[in-house]
Amino acid sequence: MNGGEETLVAADAAELARLGAELIARAIAAAIDARGVARIALSGGSTPSEAYQRLAALSLPWAQTEWFWVDERAVAPDHPRSNYGAARRDLAAAPIPEERFFRMEGESPDLAGAAARYERLLRARFGVASAVSFDVMTLGIGDDAHTASLFPGTGAAGIEDRLVAAIPAQPDKGLEPRLTLTAPVIQEARLKLLLARGAGKRGVVAQAKRPGPADEVPARVVRGGPGRLVWLLDAAAAQAG
């Protein structure tokens, strides 16, 4: 897939979901045609949920897909805040073999150990000597401009010596500990699909598109790397200030 960066603007939430599902499906089909398998990394949150549901209704070679997670909260997989649990519910209509799902162990009492295990898993699936290049990765952007679980002012956006990191809790912000893929993995994805909707995201999207320190605006990390970046926004998020 060719690199580059583009912005697609959907009229509303329904069109954003339709376009998101279409872009993911195309990336899956292209990866399977090229390499026989498609590896997808999913983010949580309410914005991509409908896109995942629409994707699950499509006819795709599901047995040739592998599903991973961009980040996870320190909760059990059946917890309401689990990114894994939410995505599994959204994808329930797709006949994906159980062994094709590779979740992060958010419930582990040793998150550093869980991060190391997930890194070993990625190396095993992609090949030790190969770059960990997901065929498609969905991403979001928070009101504080975080993406994945790379939060501003924490140094997390600058982690380069690991594929997966354990992120400490931020009690002052009400955030539990997390596991996350790091910026180098995000940047290697062949398609980075960042979804955002609502006027509340307009400012942080604009900040993320401008140069500057990633520790201040972690979503800036999505702009690096050789792959294609698509900002998929609804009209409210895309509207010029």
Query: pLDDT by residue (tens digit) across 118-157?
Result: 999 999 999 977 889 999 999 999 999 999 999 999 999 9
pLDDT for residue 1 is more than 50: no
Count of alpha carbons within 13 angstroms of residue 40, beta-carbon side: 30
* 58-81: burial string, b at 16+ Cβ within 10 Å, e else: eebebebbbbbbbbbbbbeeeeee
pLDDT above 70 for 161: yes
Residue 173 pLDDT level (bands cut at 50, 70, 90): confident
pLDDT at 129: 74
Which band of pLDDT confidence, cut at 50, 70 and 90, is reported for residue 241? very low
| Predicted confidence band of residue 240 (pLDDT cuts 50, 70, 90) | low
pLDDT at res. 196: 97
Counting every residue written for the chain, the total comes to 241
φ/ψ (deg, to 5) at 85 = -60, -40
Q: What is the pTM (predicted TM-score) of this model?
A: 0.96
Higher-confidence position of 198 and 1: 198
Which tokens hold the place of 117?
């295990």
If 0-12 CB within 10 Å is exposed, 13-18 middle and 19+ buried, where does residue 123 land?
A: middle
32-65 confidence digits (pLDDT tens): 999 999 999 999 989 999 999 999 999 999 999 9
pLDDT average, residue stretch 172-193:
96
Domains defined along the chain, listed by start: 4-238 (3.40.50.1360)
